[in-house]
């Protein structure tokens, strides 16, 4: 299947999931499962959420699909995950070996994307995806991952 068709199909499935999922937790679990199963280069897919009230602030691992990671709690001044959450900006790393911020989760990881999740314009967490392939996250992937982060943010907002 051409990658564009697959991305469109997965986007539609995410939209359907967002409507059907009873809670934000269900939606996050569903998004991880869907992206991990359907997007062949997405080898680890997970959400990190800001720990409520933590000082200094930190991200904690939430729903994920893929191998267990040693990084279950990441302070905001560490890793690509910390950088994305503290800047509120998407970060795409085509070659993790060249990024000094990178915290290794698996020796096989070559590229990574992290997209913040916003609730009422505040960063509340992020969607992190690792790939065993270099530069796996092109423009269409970035749009898909951004869309997933947005629907999760909206669902979290509704459940507040
Ligand atoms: N690579 C991330 C850490 C999380 S693992 O990829 C699951 C980082 O540099 O923040």
- At residue 4, the pLDDT reads 75
130 Cα nearest atom in ligand 1: 6
- At residue 141, the pLDDT reads 98
First-to-last alpha carbon distance for the chain, in angstroms, is 39
Would you place residue 160 in the very low, low, confident or very high pLDDT band (cuts 50, 70, 90)?
A: confident
- At residue 3, the pLDDT reads 75
Residue 152 and residue 34: Cα distance in Å, rounded?
14
Q: What are the tens digits of pLDDT across the range 81-102?
A: 999 999 999 999 999 999 999 9
Residues flanking ligand 1, CB < 6 Å: 44, 69, 71, 74, 79-81, 102-103, 105, 112, 128, 130
CATH number of the structural domain 3-158: 3.30.450.40
For residue 78, how far is its CA from the centre of ligand 1 (angstroms)?
9
Q: What are the tens digits of pLDDT across the range 98-112?
A: 999 999 989 999 999
Domain locations in the chain as residue ranges: 3-158
């Amino acid at each position: 299947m051409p990658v564009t068709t697959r991305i469109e199909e997965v986007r539609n499935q995410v939209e359907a999931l967002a409507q059907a999922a009873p809670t934000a937790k269900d939606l996050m679990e569903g998004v991880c499962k869907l992206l991990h199963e359907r997007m062949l280069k997405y080898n680890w897919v997970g959400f990190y959420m800001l720990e409520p009230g933590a000082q200094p602030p930190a991200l904690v691992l939430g729903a994920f699909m893929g191998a267990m990671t040693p990084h279950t709690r990441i302070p905001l001044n560490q890793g690509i995950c910390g950088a994305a959450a503290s800047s509120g900006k998407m970060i795409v790393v085509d070659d993790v070996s060249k990024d000094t911020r990178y915290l290794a989760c698996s020796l096989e990881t070559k590229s990574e994307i992290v997209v913040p999740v916003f609730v009422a314009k505040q960063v509340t967490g992020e969607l992190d995806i690792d790939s065993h392939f270099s530069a796996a996250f092109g423009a269409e992937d970035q749009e898909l991952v951004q869309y997933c982060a947005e629907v999760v943010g909206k669902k979290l907002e509704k459940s507040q």
